[in-house]
Every structure is written in structure tokens, then in C-alpha cells.
Amino acid sequence: MVSKTAKAIAKINANLAKLGERKAKLTADINALKAQRAALKAPAAAPAAPAKAVKKAAKAK
């Protein structure tokens, strides 16, 4: 027979495990958003060639 205290401790431990999983998921989501924000803040890559230059190059072929 399992005591009431042991059942309560088991229930609390199960809840702690669930909370730990939720915390890990939220931490991963936050880190992904931080990385996305950093990527958006990064200076843009060199601008692409102007459309006119691309058309001239295509005609030259």
C-alpha cells in the first residue's frame, strides 16, 4: 500500500517534469526568435545587380 504522502510526492514530481518540458520548449522558442531577430537586424547583403544591367547581359548572349 502506498501512503498519501508518497502519492502526493509522485504527483508533484510528475508536475515538475511537465513544467521542465514546457520551460525547455519555451527556451528553445525564445532562442529561435532571438536568432531570427538578429538575422533581421544584420546588415542587408550587397544589393543585386540593377534590372537594366541584367537585361543587357541577357541580350548580349
Length of the chain: 61
Among residues 9, 10, 29, the alpha carbon closest in space to that of 21 is found at: 29
The full DSSP string for 5-51 is HHHHHHHHHHHHHHHHHHHHHHHHHHHHHHHHHHHHHSPPPPPPPPH
Alpha carbons 49 and 58: distance in angstroms, whole number: 13
pLDDT given for residue 5 in this prediction: 97
C-alpha cell at 42: 544584420
* pLDDT band with cut points at 50, 70 and 90 for residue 42: confident
Domain spans, the chain: 4-60
Mean pLDDT of 3-27: 98
